[in-house]
Amino acid sequence: MSSSQPSSSDSAFGSNTVSSALTPAFSPLYQQIKGLILQSLQAGEWRPGELIPSEMELAARFKVSQGTVRKAIDELAAENLVMRRQGKGTFVATHSAQQVQYRFLKLHPDVGDLEGEGRAQRTILECKRLRAPAEIARLLALRSGDTVVQVRRVLAFSGIPTILEDIWLPGQAFKGLTAEQMASYKGPTYAMFEGDFGVRMVRADEKLRAVLPDPAQAELLNVSPQTPLLSVERLAYTYNDIPMELRRGIYRTDTHHYKNALS
């Protein structure tokens, strides 16, 4: 990398240097490095929870300075894709890690600080394969007609059924998923997805609404049909913004609330 400056690269990167006039498409070196690391994460070169090479090693591999690798990793860490630990190294982020378990679950009990009671009790009501309905297929970026796995379950806190949700997953990536597996896995469902299917959810979008349950939903949650519930539609993505899970849940909010930090 000689004593180089941003624009040009003399190592084996996708050249965006003398790009055609139409695409300025210049990205700084550290962004290119970030992209390369991202590719390795995506390709499974290092699995969730594993140690990735040290900054020095990566700097040598990519023929850039340690500072440049550092800045790339800084961004990956900010996006929760990796986790740094001083003195030990940098690890691929995982939903199994104690500190970020249930990172996507924003429902908190009104009283009682942490989710005591040993977490939620899961009841799997259904787990089946079917051809994706048009809307599900669209959201998951599948061809209509592709098969999906649908799971319906209830989550209870302290014995009180609180969340009823349907989960849709692309059939191809989740071959062999069973109700048994969904029910018996210890720890977050997303951790099971990582361990058993190599699928890591890195971010998600949620749409919230207030709704009334239909009679079936009301019964499953043991509430009257006049009880307002929080409807949460979540679309979760793996690396590279590929949608890999759709959830539609309804939450009881009489003893819990959805907590959000704006900044």
Interface ranges with its own copies (CB under 8 A):
78-80, 103-104, 106, 202-212, 226, 228-231, 234, 251, 253, 257-263
Strand partners, 131: 147
Residue 179 contact, options its own copies, DNA, none, Cβ 5-8 Å cut-off depending on partner type: none
Q: Which residues contact DNA by CB under 7 A?
A: 1, 3-7, 24, 26, 28-31, 52, 54-57, 64-68, 70-71, 84-90
Nearest to DNA of 65, 147 (CB atom): 65
Shortest spacing between CB 134 and DNA, in angstroms: 41
Shortest spacing between CB 33 and DNA, in angstroms: 8
Q: How far apart, in whole angstroms, are the C-alpha atoms of residue 235 and residue 244?
A: 8
CA 125 to chain centre: 23
The three-state secondary structure class of 209 is strand
Q: How far apart, in whole angstroms, are the C-alpha atoms of residue 39 and residue 36?
A: 5
Strand order in the sheet with 51-52: 51-52, 89-92, 82-85
CB 249 within 8 A of CB 220: no
What's the maximum distance between 2 C-alpha atoms anywhere in the chain?
71
Residue 85 contact, options its own copies, DNA, none, Cβ 5-8 Å cut-off depending on partner type: DNA
Residue 87 contact, options DNA, its own copies, none, Cβ 5-8 Å cut-off depending on partner type: DNA
Residue 55 contact, options DNA, its own copies, none, Cβ 5-8 Å cut-off depending on partner type: DNA
